Amino acid sequence: MSLIRTAAFLYGRDLHHLDHIGPLSIFLKIPLLVTEEAIGAIAKAYYPKIEVILLDRHTFAEKILTAYDLIFTTLPKQILEPLFFFEEHKQRKKLHTCWLPHGNSDKDNLGALTQEKLFLLYGKQMEDTLKQRGVPISHKTFIGNLRHHLYLENKKFFDKRVEERIYFPKEQPTLFYAPTWGGASLEEDLYFILKNIPPSYNLLVKMHPNTLHKGFVLSLKELYRDKKNIVFIEDMPLIYPLLARSAIYIGDHSSIAYDFLSLDKPLFFLTDKRSPIHQAGRVVSKEELFSSLKEKDIFSEAREALDSYTFAKVNYEELPNQIWQEINQYLEEELYFL
């Protein structure tokens, strides 16, 4: 156990970060600091044994610098440092950070991590990707698929949270559609899927928060709100309880596809892009999608191989000590005071 004072920190309204920083908070038995009351309420509702501390958005920097020495965060230093700059110089104290990924995205947006010193990484694939992007890694700990581990340890609790929110009249295979944001064909893909889904399937739709309140999403939700085999997921950060009740994943290049690997279920991609995850499933056009769902799945070995490369095998009883040891080694090289 580390002697320094630590906490997990979720700044702002990024609900999709909660399913990453929340499980870490529970696993390390440290408080989760939030600046939005709604985020704190959702965290308490969907995560067992979590300690949430709500901080005022105007004074959070002072409170954190006073009470803690290091925070775990999904945000890079480039975003965090301006938030704490004045308070650090006022208190003449440096706030240390440890970066936690909020997914295993294939997007080319990792250059912002060049200032990081402490990393919690899923496994070798993420380490290799960061190095290819020119990100130096001096102190790291592999955490494997920590979220899946936490789900399995608290399966009854998490499944109940989902059952309270999601109901389908018919017991039949469920498709899980989770596209990322910014895709040129997203609007067309969503409309096609909603319009053409066979009645023999249920459909869970989890839009990225950046698109959830776009006009086309709101209009399509209204258009299909009476279709009983379609459910849009909102204000629910959980991923693994949803994936566990889904038979097939449909997406493009969302990091959720990597989460689905451990379940060894079919993946279908509506995209022209090619990245490692697309080798673990079938790339199809939207017109081919529903006819392809019943084809023989031949990607199990590819999913297993990519899952092993992506998520390290971890002894979760030893992991907390490994994290604290790496942090202590890092702190021996760093200054506490400005």
DSSP state string for 67-130: H-SEEEESS-HHHHHHHHHHHHHHHT-PPEEEE--S----SS--GGGTT--EEEESSHHHHHHH
CA distance linking residue 86 with residue 200, whole number of Å: 58
Residue 146, Cβ neighbours under 10 Å: how many?
22
pLDDT recorded at residue 3: 74
Quickly list H helices, the chain: 18-28, 37-46, 60-67, 77-91, 124-132, 146-153, 155-165, 186-196, 209-212, 215-223, 240-244, 256-260, 286-292, 300-310, 319-331
**Structure-block tokens of residue 236:** 């629910």
Single-letter amino acid, residue 71 = I
Per-residue pLDDT of the chain (338 residues; tens, 9 = 90+): 557 999 999 999 999 999 999 999 999 999 999 999 999 999 999 999 999 999 999 999 999 999 999 999 999 999 999 999 999 999 999 999 999 999 997 766 677 899 999 999 999 999 999 999 899 998 999 999 999 999 999 999 999 999 999 999 999 999 999 998 877 788 999 999 999 999 999 999 999 888 877 898 999 999 999 999 999 998 899 999 999 999 999 999 889 999 999 999 999 999 987 889 999 999 999 999 999 999 999 999 999 999 999 999 999 999 999 999 999 999 998 866 65
Q: Is residue 309 a contact partner of residue 124, using CB atoms and an 8 Å limit?
A: yes
pLDDT recorded at residue 156: 97
Q: Is residue 117 a contact partner of residue 141, using CB atoms and an 8 Å limit?
A: no
CATH for the stretch 156-310: 3.40.50.12580
pLDDT recorded at residue 1: 52
CA-closest candidate to residue 332, choices 116, 96, 137, 119: 96
**For the chain, how many residues are written?**
338
Kindly report the pTM of this predicted structure. 0.94
CA distance linking residue 11 with residue 75, whole number of Å: 8
Domain boundary assignment for the chain: 6-144+312-331, 156-310
Handedness of CA 221, 224, 226, 231 (dihedral sign): negative
**Identical fold, 6-144+312-331 and 156-310:** yes
CATH for the stretch 6-144+312-331: 3.40.50
CA-closest candidate to residue 278, choices 307, 252, 300, 249: 252
CA-closest candidate to residue 61, choices 89, 40, 102, 42: 89
Alpha-carbon 288 to chain mean position: 29
**Structure-block tokens of residue 206:** 């989890």
- Please tell me what DSSP assigns to residue 276: G
Single-letter amino acid, residue 15 = L
CA distance linking residue 315 with residue 95, whole number of Å: 29
**197 contact partners, CB below 8 Å, separation of at least 6:** 175, 203, 229, 230, 290
At 334, phi and psi to the nearest 5?
Answer: -110, 155
